[in-house]
Amino acid sequence: MNTPARQARYERRHKNHKKKKDRKRSEEDLYYNRTKRKYCNMLEKRVAILLFENGIDNVYSKEFKTTDRDGKPNTRQVDFYILGDPIMVNGCDWPVQAIEVKNNANSTRAKAQKRELLEVGIRTLTATPEVVEMWESQGLLQGGTPVDENS
């Protein structure tokens, strides 16, 4: 016969048992396991995989102090900040130091963020779903290697 204390102890030990047993391995789980991080959405995970597979060191969700249009202090965050030398990516003709993942690159907020970051020296590429699909099919890097910052 189970006592209330014994039943409570059993439930504490086995509370996640059913979740783990019934859980199916999804594509999202594979992305999470390969990069060892958790991302805001699937598009960010796809970009993280591309950076990982190309051996590009990066910092996820890095913040920068900026000033807004009115001159007030502001903080902006990029999804992926490239450590070391900037990289040349397919579909872009300038060296990229940061990648921001957005569904709409032409939104007012995306343009304001890009402008504010450029003012503090961070050249940001906005990666849309179409751009990420192109990178997945044609490769992320132009020529396959990062660029020299002085070139």
Higher confidence at residue 63 or residue 36?
Answer: 63
Instruction: Please report which confidence band the pLDDT of residue 130 belongs to, taking 50, 70 and 90 as the band edges.
Output: very high
> Once rounded to an integer, what is the mean pLDDT over residues 80-103?
93
Task: Name residue 59's beta-bridge partners.
Answer: 81
Strand, helix or coil at 39?
A: coil
DSSP letter assigned to residue 133: H
For position 79, what pLDDT does the model report? 93
Q: Which candidate, 64, 74, 72, 122, places its Cα nearest to that of 94?
A: 122
User: Is residue 83 within 8 Å of 76, Cβ to Cβ?
Assistant: no
pLDDT digits (tens, 9 = 90+) for 17-51: 545 444 455 555 545 545 566 778 889 989 999 99
Beta pairing partners, 75: 65
Terminal Cα distance for the chain, rounded: 77
Mean pLDDT in residue range 56-65: 92
According to the model, what pLDDT value does residue 34 have?
Answer: 55
Is the pTM higher than 0.75? The answer reads no
Q: What is the pLDDT of residue 64?
A: 94
**CA quadruple 81, 82, 83, 87: dihedral, nearest 10:** -160
Q: Which two tokens stand for residue 17?
A: 């048992």
